[in-house]
A and B are shown apart, each in its own frame.
Chain A
Amino acid sequence: AQSVTQLDSQVPVFEEAPVELRCNYSSSVSVYLFWYVQYPNQGLQLLLKYLSGSTLVKGINGFEAEFNKSQTSFHLRKPSVHISDTAEYFCAVSSSSNDYKLSFGAGTTVTVRA
C-alpha cells in the first residue's frame, strides 16, 4: 500500500513571491504521482502528474513539480503566485500497477496575500 504525507497544512505567501508545497510518499512499488488543486467550493482539478521519464514535470497555471525517487518526494513549486492561486492543494499517489486506487495527502491550504 502507498501513502502520502504533506508536510505543511497551511502556507501563507505574499503575491508575486515563490511558493513550495512539500509532499513525501511511501510505497514499496513504482508509483504515479499527482497534484490536484481545489478552489473554494469547487471540485478537484488536476495540476500535473508524474508517470515516468523526466523528473521535472510542468503543469497548468505555471506550476511545476520534481520527482525525487531517492528522497521519495514530489514537491510542488511556483516561482510567482497570484491572488487567484489561493486554494487547497492535494498530493496523491497510486501504484503503477493499480492506478485506480489513488491515495491522497491531507492537503495544504495556500493563502496568497496582497
Chain B
Amino acid sequence: EAQVTQNPRYLITVTGKKLTVTCSQNMNHEYMSWYRQDPGLGLRQIYYSMNVEVTDKGDVPEGYKVSRKEKRNFPLILESPSPNQTSLYFCASSGRYGYTFGSGTRLTVV
C-alpha cells in the first residue's frame, strides 16, 4: 500500500530535549515536505526537499532541522524544543501534482 509513515503518533517532551520525528514513504517520490498545523492557521510548510541532499526552508523553519540522506526518508529534528513548537506535524511526499500526507505526529513540549 502506498503510504507515508510517521513516527511517533504522539510525543510529550520537555523543553530543550532534542527529538526526531521520522518520516518514510514507499512511493519513490522525489518531493517531501514537513508541515505544522495550528488552529486557525491551517498548515504551514516548515522544510521541503526536492531530492536526496536537496532541502530548502519553507515558511516557518526556525527551530527545526531536516536531512535527506535517502530518497524514502525525511526526518524532522528539533534540537532544542520549546513550548511554541507544540503542534500537529505532518510529513508529505509527492511525485507531481499534489502531496500524500502521513497520519500526523502530535507533539507537546512542556
What residues make up the interface of A, taking CB atoms closer than 8 Å to B? 4, 6, 9, 32, 34, 36, 42-46, 49, 51, 90, 92, 99-107
Contacts and interface: CB of A to CB of B under 8 A. Distances in A.
Contacts of A107: 42
A36 B98 CA distance: 10
Contacts, number: 54
Interface of B: 31, 33, 35, 40-45, 48, 50, 58-59, 90, 92, 94, 96-104
Contact of B42 (A42, A46, A99, A104): A104
A64 to B, nearest CB: 17
B44 A42 contact: no
B40 A9 contact: yes
A26 B6 CA distance: 32
Contacts of B43: 44, 90, 92, 104
Contacts of B41: 106
A110 to B, nearest CB: 15
Identify whether the interface residues of A are mostly helix, strand, loop, or mixed.
Answer: strand
Given A43-B102, A43-B104, A44-B101, A100 B40 contact: no
Contacts of B96: 99
Given A102-B99, A103-B45, A106-B40, 16 more contacts: A32-B97, A42-B104, A43-B101, A44-B90, A46-B98, A46-B99, A46-B100, A90-B43, A92-B43, A99-B94, A99-B96, A100-B48, A100-B94, A104-B43, A104-B44, A107-B42
